Structure formats: structure tokens, C-alpha cells
Amino acid sequence: MASITAFGWDRLALLLAIFIVVVLVVIVATGVITRRLAVQRRVAESMLEDSFGGSATLRSETTKNIWTNLIDKIEQGGLSLADTREDSLRAKMIAAGYTSPYASRWYTLIRIVTTLSFPALVLTLALTSQNPPSIIKLYFMGAISALFGLYIPNVWVSARADRRRHQITNGFPDALDLLLVCIEAGLGMEAAFDRVGREMAMSHPLISEMLATIVLEMRAGRSREEALRRMADRAQVDEIKAFVTLLVQSDKLGSSIGMTLRIYSAEMREKRRMRAEEKAHRLPVLLSIPLVACMLPVMIGVLMLPAAIRVIRQLIPAMGGN
């Protein structure tokens, strides 16, 4: 018994030492990365102040609330929430519909919280149970729950971005038809975007928001090409990127925008019809799985049960010698 207890304490001490080493390595690496990101952020802020002459503008100010103040206090405390791939993370959050400047920092904070809270919850429930698991099981349970908490926000943002792209793709052909009507009626591009955006506020709010943003940027002094390309970057949809490229080329070459919209609208509707047909053709394959798993055993039982009962009634007396 004493040898078993000693062996258990030795294993616990070894696991504790490994855990302390991993924590120290993570803390040191986080400190180095945090200092480097802080230096880069200070350099960027100094360059921005120099470019604006040291004066803040109304457009650069962000509405402060309790959550943004919380993030600011956390970063002032020494924990940097800036990601090493800030540009790609920012584009991913915008594609999911989170356009706030604090969205990427909120994402990092939520990942930290879920990564730490999930293992704490799992270990608390495991240790307070009537039969606590062993140290090895606790270690693996904590590691798996930490990975689960680390990837849950990523899965949520990716699913939201995919759903948003799907909604934009399905509603964009209707917007093209309305744009074509407005252009052929004599409206300019800016007025057509404004009109279509107001008309689609109820049916397709995402597309209405995109068009309203383009109108605001163009009225603020941004060129049409730059505003359109920024819309494509925010949407992260291949069809809209192709539409923006087509509009920019038509504008530069001087071709008819109405004809361009008519052709591209027809292509978009054809693609939407092909996607619907593809989903319809997939239904028989998807339905075959529940049919085989649920209905086939029942049908076999219904068909074979009378024959099995009759065979049993005839064989059992014969085997008994009656």
C-alpha cells in the first residue's frame, strides 16, 4: 500500500512539474509577443497622429460603453488582446457581420475566457462527484475541454460568416434587377445604390446595409472604385467581387453599365437556379440514409416475422418428436 501511495505521489508531482513548465513557457512567450505588439501599436498610433497633425476627428472616435471600457482596462493592465494576424482576423469578423473596431479584441477575450472556464467547470464537476477520476483522466478531460473552449468561438464566427454569405448570395440577383431598372430609368450609380438600398431594407437587410455604406462612402468623398472594392472586401463573397470587378472595368472602358448589369444579373440567377437544382438532386441521397437506417429494418421485420413464426411452429414440434 505504501509503495502504491508513493508511486501515486510521484506521478502527481511529475504532472504538476510538467504543468508548471508549460505555464511558465506560455507566460514568457505571451510577454514577449505582448511587448512586441505594444511597440508596433505605439508606432502606428504615432504615425497616425503625425498624419492628422495630432488632432482627433469625429470619425475616428468610437462610442464608449461598459464593454469597450472593460477591454481598455484589460489592455492597460498589461494583457494585450491584439492578435498576431490582426488584419486577417479583422476581415473574418467583418465577414461575419461584426464591424466594430473592438470586434477582434472581443473575439480574443472570449477565446481566453472559454479556454480557461471550460476546463475549470469540467474539473470542478469531476472533483465534486462521488467517484472522482484519476489524475490522468483529469488531465485529459481538462486538455480536451480547453481545446473545445478554444475552438468554439472560431466555429461560431465561421458559421455566422457562411450564413451571411449565403444570404447575400441569394439576395444579390434581386438587387441587380432593381439596379438595372434604376439605371435604365436614368438614375446615376450613387442614386441607384441609394434607391435600391432603401427598397431592400425589409427583404434583404444585409444587402441594404452594404449599399447604404457605399452611398455614405461616396458622399464622404471616396471614389466609386474604392468604395466598391471596400464593399467586396467586407462581403467576402465571390459573386460580389466579380460584380465589382465588372463594374470597375465597365466604368474604365466606357461600356454600357445597363447591359453589364443585365448580363450579370442573368448569370447570377442562373447560378442560383443551379444551386437550387443541386440541393434538390442531393435530397434522394440524403433521404436514403434515414430510410435504410429506420424503415428498412421495420419492413424486413414485418415481411419476415410471419414466415419466422410459421417456421418455428412447424420445426419445434418436429424436433420434439411430436
Name the pLDDT band for 63 (thresholds 50, 70, 90): very low
CA–CA distance, 223 with 153 (Å, rounded to integer): 36
Interval 167-174 mean pLDDT: 82
The answer, yes or no, to whether residue 75 has pLDDT greater than 60, is yes
Written as one string, the DSSP assignment of 245-285 is HHHHHHHHHT--HHHHHHHHHHHHHHHHHHHHHHHHHHHHH
CA–CA distance, 236 with 166 (Å, rounded to integer): 11
**What is the residue extent of each domain of the chain?**
1-53+74-80, 168-274
Name the pLDDT band for 41 (thresholds 50, 70, 90): low
What pLDDT score was predicted for residue 52? 35
Name the pLDDT band for 219 (thresholds 50, 70, 90): confident
The overall longest dimension of the chain from CA atoms, in Å, is 111
Q: Does domain 168-274 have CATH number 1.10.10?
A: no
Question: Contact at 8 Å (CB) between 174 and 182?
Answer: no
CA–CA distance, 24 with 17 (Å, rounded to integer): 11
Indicate the average pLDDT of the chain.
76
Residue 243, C-alpha cell as written in the block = 460584380
Interval 200-220 mean pLDDT: 85
Interval 294-312 mean pLDDT: 82
The least confident of 50-59, 121-130, 201-210 is 50-59
Question: Contact at 8 Å (CB) between 244 and 228?
Answer: yes
Q: E-assigned strands of the chain?
A: none
The answer, yes or no, to whether residue 173 has pLDDT greater than 70, is yes
User: How many CA atoms does the CB half-sphere of 63 hold within 13 Å?
Assistant: 2
Name the pLDDT band for 33 (thresholds 50, 70, 90): low
Q: Which residue did the predictor score with more confidence, 66 or 221?
A: 221
Q: Which residue did the predictor score with more confidence, 9 or 213?
A: 213
Question: Contact at 8 Å (CB) between 63 and 99?
Answer: no
The answer, yes or no, to whether residue 287 has pLDDT greater than 60, is yes
The answer, yes or no, to whether residue 47 has pLDDT greater than 50, is no
What pLDDT score was predicted for residue 35? 62
Name the pLDDT band for 67 (thresholds 50, 70, 90): low
What pLDDT score was predicted for residue 105? 79
